[in-house]
Structures are given as structure tokens and as C-alpha cells.
């Protein structure tokens, strides 16, 4: 389908009697010569299935060659107008600008962009400034990114990846819009390369890992294509790439790309690709090899701490250390290379498994210190799922099938939520849609699916649920299972509100009412100073608190923030509550109450009950609103004792 300008050019070609130079059309259409030639390519592409062609003769010009029977087709092309609005959205224009200026060698003037995007040069400038502002936040000048040796190539690629992830979160980066950034052939080839890597490594990458690796490789290959290579003598993160098996796999892949696309790679490029593969879970080693020794101690310590916090014994779970190891090794590489993988279930995890999430936050300090990293909430969410799986696991002996598109971990989580509430004569298994089509469904009594299923002659009942099923959905599953199993049970349960435990750790000197603050940082500094003055925490408390909040907001959509501090910086366990006179923005959420929990290492055994009780209280309908209006310590304690009733 031709644009308005391309149709005008075709009309000029159709009406001309002789060859005309490109400058002739340039002057008539008031565009650059480069734009004329680009439009000629588009027109020729539309005419490929006909006998019409654009003939270009040096020193003579350009002419449309056609037969008498082609005239009607050409006229239809000239007259046909798009039904879709031709203007690009600002987001699409910004993707095009990013793609042309950083992922290709093409460089257009504002006027050329204006002609291409059907906007004014000033609009183009505004769009370009918007893109540039993202990079300038990280002290990179957009105009200098292409200049040799100004910035580290690995940093440039990390920021491009972050920009793309941002657009994906905003639902802007559809597959169609991806072609505004990258060449179609490269997109298709890279998809195939990612599949090849998964198959050769015999791993099943989850969707979020697959998309992140896909985007990482697209950026990497686009930059290599224009001669931008990873800097020499690049220091690899924590553990240098020493495993030759993965390096050789990367070399085999780059040789294939060179043969198919003609790209040339340096040794540093191949090392960087090895690092990217490892960061996304492509491991050349099996669990139990020497590399594990770097991680074993901290993982076992984390498992021991979680056992203490949850009051369970994880030592008999042989799978938990393996699953944690297979996640944490790539995670360390990811964080040291600046690769951020978005957890698509993070908000649901925070909401539905809030206590487990908070407990994991308390025990990650050892891993952070050992490997000199800071875990963002996305990674904490992944670890939460592993511990939730282990916590809910029970021995089962009968056929319910779970179909899920979010990868093995999420499927297993749904499985364990169901397994722990059904009788032992039911076997629950996990599958994907592709496998489901191949099995004999006559033996399946119930299908639980997180994705729409297209099946002919379906007689097996299907329940559709969210990836992290709610209590209502669990009840629905319970009701259905009870029909196929006489031992079906009700899944609902109520948590005990241990209000006395909360009151024990309240200190009147740390309760504040009708306070006004401009930012969350002001509030955290205020509370930290008070706790330091009272010798409840060490000096490092504030720094750790602010750093943790910087990489992951603790604000919840119920209107309360739950900042947590690292136990090693806490001398005496205390709970501070700040009721605000007016709500402030905490991350993406407005909060009116801040509840800061400082748990010392000696009181870690009570952490689960404290955190669970706090969440239970604050999640009660209208509780936060009542708390925000409290004006004295007595009113606050009365509200806790009455549980807001």
C-alpha cells in the first residue's frame, strides 16, 4: 500500500514522456534525493507482481516502463488511498528515530524525518529530544552514541535493551512495531537463532526469558551489523567466561550468522554473546559441577534462613537447591552485565504472596554481599516463586491437567496450590498447549488452563484461571474437583491475626500522626534518624533502606508502603508507623500510611508472623483509611486490637 507522497511520485512517473533525473522529482515534491530513491523502492515493491518496472539509466534519468494492459492497475494505485490514518503515533515515531540513529547507519535530517513521518520538523525534534532524554538520564548524549570510543558498547546495548523493555511494559512494542526498530529479516533470523540455542542446550526457556534474550540478541546483531563491537579487554562479571563449551557454542552460532548474514564478530563480541546466553539461563554445565561451589554456600544459607522464618524444614527437598542454583547463577550474570529481565507476574506475586515476598527480601542480603549485586523486585519475585513451590509441596499419589504459557515455574506453582488441597488419589500434571493436542484427552478428568484452548469435540471440563489463581478461582477448582473426587475438600482458610505480636514491637516514640512530607526519601530519612537516635539501628540502616527502595518500590495499591530494612543493620526490632496528612506518590502508588518494619537477626524467627499479621490487618476493607485518620497512640493501638472492626 503506497503512501500519499509515493502515489504522487507514481503519478508523475506515469504522466512523464521521457527520462527525468531524480532532481526533477525532488524539486516538484520538495523532498531530498535520498527520499525520492527510497520512495521509488517502495513503488517498485508494489509493482513486483506486474510487468511494470522503474528503469534507471545513468546520466539519463528515471522512467516508468509499462504495457497498455498495465495502465488500469497503475491508475488504481494512484487513486487508492489508505483507510488508516497515515500519521504515526509519537511512540512509533520515537521507535523509528531510535532505530535509524542507533541501530542503523542511516542518518536523516529533521526535514527528511518530517517527510517520512508526515509531521513537521519541530515535531520530529520533540520526538528526538524525548528519546535522547532517556539516554541522558544515564549521562549518555544521544548525538554522541555513534561516535567511536565515546561510550562503552556494552553500556549502550544495555540502555537500548532497557528502553525496549520500557516500551514493552507500556504495550507499545508489538511484533509489528518491532519492525520500526529492526529489519524484518533480522527479526526472523534472530527468532530462529533463539530457538536453535534453546534446542541445542536442551532447555525450555520461559516466555519472559525468551523475549529478553531475543531482544538482547536483536540489539547485539544490529549493532554488529553497523560495525559497533564490544570493547576489547572487557572485564567479565564476577566469574569470567572460562567455560569453553559455552564459548564454543557461541562461536558456532556466530559462524552461522556470518555465513547467513555476513556479519563479522570479534573475540570480545563472542565473549559478550556467551555472557548474554548465560545471563538468560543457557548453561553449558550440569548441576553439580565446580562452578556451583561459588554459589552453594549462600544458597544453603538462604534455605536455612527461610526454614527458620517459615517454621518448616526444607532440608529434605532435593529440588529446591537445584532450582535456586539454576536461577541464581544466570541471575548473578544478568545483574553484573546490567541486563534487567522483567517479571510479568511481579504485581500478582506481591499481592498474593506478600508475606513470602517480604521474607525473601529479608534473606537476600548474603547473596547481595557475596556477589556485589542488588536484587530488584523482579528477581526477588522469581525467588519467591521457588520458595512458594517448596513451601506448598506435599506428597501425592490420581487426572487433572494444568495448561500454562508462563513457563515451568508458574505451572508448578499452580500445581502445588492445588495439590496441597486434594486427596491422594488424584494426580495433577503440567502440560503446554502443544503437548495437550498430542495426548489422549479421554483419560483427563479436568483441565485447568491459563490460556484459551482451541479443541474440537471437547468433552473434558475446562476451568480458566489466572497464572496466579485467586482464592475465588481456587474455590471454583475445589468445587469442580469435588465432583470427580468424593474426597474433594474446601480450599479456604483464615489466617490468625496476632495483634499482640504487633503491639509488642510498637514504640510510642516511633509513631507519627498527621505528618507532611514531600517525598518518600524524606520519610525514610526521618524514620531512620529517629531510630538511630534511639539506638535501635546502626548508622548503615538508612543507606541500606534508601538503596533497597531505589530499586523496588514497596508501595501497595491499598494505600500503604511497607519498607523493609536489612536485619544486620537492626539492633532492636521495632515497628514505626507514619500516618500522613495528605497522600504522597510512592513509586506508582499513592500512599497515606508508611509502616516501616525493622527486624533484628535475633528476632527473625518471628518475622513471618509479624509480616503476615501486618498484611492481614492492612488488607482489611477500609483499614488503611481508618488508620490514616488516627491522631494518637491510643487510637492506633485500639484500632489494632479491634482489627478495624
DSSP codes joined into one string, 277-323: HHHTT--SS-TTSGGGHHHHHHHHHHHHHHHHHHT---TT-SHHHHH
- Pick from 48, 69, 52: which is nearest to 13 by CA? 52
Q: Which CATH number fits domain 4-79: 2.40.33.10, 1.10.10.10, 2.120.10.30, 3.30.230.70?
A: 1.10.10.10
Q: Mind listing the pLDDT tens digit for each residue in 507-519?
A: 889 999 988 898 8
How deeply is 259 buried, as exposed, middle or buried, from its count of CB atoms within 10 A (0-12, 13-18, 19+)? exposed
DSSP-derived secondary structure letter, 20: B
How deeply is 393 buried, as exposed, middle or buried, from its count of CB atoms within 10 A (0-12, 13-18, 19+)? middle
Which residues, including other chains, have CB under 8 Å from residue 95's CB and lie 6 or more apart?
Answer: 167, 172, 173, 177, 180, 181
- Pick from 574, 552, 458: which is nearest to 508 by CA? 574
Q: The cell 549485586 sits on which residue?
A: 373
- Pick from 52, 57, 64: which is nearest to 12 by CA? 64
What integer pLDDT is reported at residue 289 of this predicted model?
A: 44
What integer pLDDT is reported at residue 393 of this predicted model?
A: 66
What integer pLDDT is reported at residue 80 of this predicted model?
A: 61
- Pick from 407, 456, 110: which is nearest to 281 by CA? 407
- The fourth-level CATH superfamily of domain 290-392 is PRD domain (1.10.1790.10)
Q: Are 635 and 615 in contact (CB under 8 A)?
A: no
What integer pLDDT is reported at residue 458 of this predicted model?
A: 62
DSSP-derived secondary structure letter, 514: E
What integer pLDDT is reported at residue 504 of this predicted model?
A: 84
Q: Are 617 and 608 in contact (CB under 8 A)?
A: no
What integer pLDDT is reported at residue 348 of this predicted model?
A: 75
- Pick from 285, 216, 217, 271: which is nearest to 241 by CA? 271
Q: Are 310 and 359 in contact (CB under 8 A)?
A: yes
Strand 61-65 versus strand 53-57 pairing type: antiparallel
Query: Does 4-79 match 400-484 in CATH topology?
Result: no
- Pick from 358, 374, 263, 382: which is nearest to 309 by CA? 358
What integer pLDDT is reported at residue 165 of this predicted model?
A: 79
C-alpha cell at 267: 573475540
How deeply is 85 buried, as exposed, middle or buried, from its count of CB atoms within 10 A (0-12, 13-18, 19+)? exposed
What integer pLDDT is reported at residue 138 of this predicted model?
A: 86
- Pick from 168, 206, 198: which is nearest to 467 by CA? 206
What integer pLDDT is reported at residue 483 of this predicted model?
A: 64
Indicate the Cα dihedral angle 355, 360, 363, 364, nearest 10°.
-150
Q: Residue ranges per domain, the chain?
A: 4-79, 90-279, 290-392, 400-484, 499-642
C-alpha cell at 142: 544521544
Q: Are 603 and 362 in contact (CB under 8 A)?
A: no
Sites in the chain below the pLDDT cut of 50? 82-86, 234-244, 285-290, 394-398, 424-425, 486-496
H-run or E-run covering 416: helix 408-419
- Pick from 208, 293, 294, 220: which is nearest to 250 by CA? 220
What integer pLDDT is reported at residue 83 of this predicted model?
A: 38
- 499-642: what fold? Mannitol-specific EII; Chain A (3.40.930)
Q: Please, what sign has the CA dihedral across residues 589, 590, 592, 594?
A: positive
What integer pLDDT is reported at residue 644 of this predicted model?
A: 60
What integer pLDDT is reported at residue 463 of this predicted model?
A: 85
For domain 400-484, say whether CATH 3.40.50.2300 is its number. Answer: yes
Query: Could you give the angle at which helices 377-392 and 354-363 cross, rounded to 10 degrees?
Result: 110
Cα–Cα distance measured from residue 246 to residue 187, given in angstroms and rounded to the nearest whole number: 24
CB atoms within 10 A of CB 237: 20
Cα–Cα distance measured from residue 631 to residue 615, given in angstroms and rounded to the nearest whole number: 22
CB atoms within 10 A of CB 450: 18
DSSP-derived secondary structure letter, 537: B
C-alpha cell at 473: 478461582
H-run or E-run covering 351: helix 346-352
Amino acid at each position: 500500500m503506497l503512501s500519499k507522497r509515493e502515489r504522487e511520485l507514481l503519478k508523475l512517473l506515469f504522466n512523464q514522456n521521457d527520462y527525468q533525473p531524480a532532481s526533477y522529482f525532488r524539486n516538484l515534491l520538495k523532498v531530498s534525493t535520498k527520499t525520492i530513491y527510497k520512495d521509488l523502492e517502495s513503488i517498485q515493491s508494489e509493482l513486483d507482481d506486474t510487468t511494470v518496472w522503474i528503469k534507471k539509466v545513468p546520466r539519463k534519468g528515471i522512467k516508468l516502463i509499462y504495457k497498455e494492459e498495465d495502465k488500469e492497475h497503475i491508475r488504481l494505485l494512484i487513486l487508492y488511498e489508505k483507510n488508516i490514518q497515515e500519521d504515526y503515533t509519537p511512540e512509533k515515531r520515537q521507535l523509528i528515530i531510535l532505530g535509524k540513529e542507533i541501530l542503523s547507519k542511516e542518518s536523516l535530517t529533521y526535514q527528511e524525518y518530517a517527510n517520512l513521518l508526515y509531521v513537521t520538523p519541530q515535531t520530529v525534534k520533540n520526538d528526538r529530544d524525548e528519546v535522547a532524554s532517556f539516554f541522558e538520564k544515564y549521562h549518555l548524549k544521544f548525538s554522541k552514541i555513534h561516535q567511536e570510543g565515546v561510550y562503552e558498547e556494552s553500556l549502550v546495548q544495555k540502555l537500548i535493551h532497557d528502553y525496549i523493555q520500557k516500551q514493552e511494559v507500556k504495550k507499545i512494542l508489538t511484533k509489528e512495531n518491532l519492525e520500526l526498530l529492526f529489519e524484518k529479516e533480522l527479526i526472523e533470523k534472530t527468532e530462529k537463532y533463539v530457538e536453535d540455542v534453546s534446542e541445542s542446550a536442551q532447555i525450555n526457556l520461559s516466555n519472559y526469558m525468551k523475549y529478553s534474550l531475543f531482544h538482547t540478541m536483536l540489539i547485539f546483531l544490529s549493532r554488529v551489523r553497523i560495525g559497533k563491537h564490544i570493547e576489547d579487554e572487557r572485564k567479565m562479571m564476577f566469574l569470567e567466561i572460562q567455560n569453553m563449551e559455552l564459548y564454543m557454542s557461541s562461536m558456532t552460532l556466530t559462524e552461522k550468522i556470518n555465513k547467513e548474514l555476513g556479519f563479522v564478530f570479534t573475540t570480545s563480541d563472542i565473549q559478550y554473546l556467551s555472557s548474554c546466553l548465560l545471563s538468560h539461563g543457557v548453561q553449558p554445565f550440569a548441576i553439580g559441577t565446580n562452578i556451583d561451589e561459588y554459589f552453594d554456600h549462600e544458597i544453603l544459607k538462604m534455605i536455612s534462613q527461610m526454614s527458620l522464618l517459615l517454621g518448616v524444614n526444607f532440608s529434605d527437598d532435593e529440588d529446591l537447591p537445584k532450582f535456586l542454583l539454576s536461577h541464581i547463577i544466570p541471575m548473578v550474570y544478568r545483574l553484573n552485565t546490567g541486563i534487567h529481565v522483567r517479571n510479568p507476574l511481579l504485581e500478582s506475586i506481591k499481592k498474593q504472596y506478600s508475606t513470602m515476598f517480604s521474607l525473601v527480601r529479608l534473606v537476600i542480603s548474603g547473596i547481595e554481599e557475596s556477589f556485589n549485586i542488588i536484587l530488584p523486585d523482579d528477581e526477588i519475585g522469581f525467588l519467591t516463586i521457588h520458595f512458594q513451590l517448596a513451601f506448598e509441596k506435599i506428597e501425592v499419589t490420581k487426572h487433572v491437567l494444568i495448561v500454562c504459557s508462563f513457563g515451568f515455574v508458574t505451572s508448578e506453582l499452580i500445581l502445588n496450590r492445588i495439590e496441597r488441597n486434594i486427596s491422594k488419589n488424584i494426580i495433577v500434571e503440567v502440560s503446554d498447549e502443544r503437548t495437550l493436542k498430542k495426548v489422549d484427552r479421554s483419560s483427563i478428568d479436568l483441565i485447568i488452563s491459563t490460556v484459551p484452548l482451541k479443541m474440537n469435540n471437547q468433552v473434558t471440563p475446562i476451568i480458566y484461571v489466572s497464572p496466579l489463581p485467586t482464592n475465588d478461582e481456587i474455590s471454583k477448582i475445589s468445587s469442580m474437583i469435588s465432583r470427580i473426587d468424593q474426597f474433594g475438600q474446601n480450599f479456604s482458610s483464615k489466617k490468625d491475626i496476632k495483634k499482640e505480636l504487633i503491639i509488642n514491637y510498637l514504640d510510642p516514640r516511633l509513631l507519627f500522626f498527621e505528618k507532611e512530607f514531600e517525598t518518600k526519601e524524606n520519610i525514610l530519612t526521618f524514620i531512620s534518624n529517629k531510630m538511630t537516635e534511639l539506638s535501635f539501628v546502626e548508622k548503615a540502616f538508612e543507606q541500606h533502606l534508601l538503596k533497597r527502595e531505589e530499586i523496588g518500590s514497596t508501595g501497595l495499591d491499598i494505600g500503604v508502603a511497607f519498607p523493609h530494612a536489612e536485619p544486620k543493620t537492626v539492633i532492636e526490632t521495632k515497628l514505626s508507623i507514619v500516618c500522613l496528612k495528605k497522600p504522597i506518590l510512592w513509586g506508582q502508588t499513592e500512599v497515606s500510611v508508611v509502616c516501616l518494619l525493622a527486624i533484628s537477626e535475633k528476632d527473625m524467627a518471628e518475622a513471618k508472623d509479624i509480616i503476615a499479621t501486618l498484611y492481614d490487618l492492612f488488607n482489611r476493607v477500609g483499614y488503611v483509611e481508618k488508620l490514616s485518620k488516627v491522631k494518637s497512640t491510643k487510637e492506633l493501638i485500639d484500632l489494632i486490637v479491634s482489627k478495624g472492626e
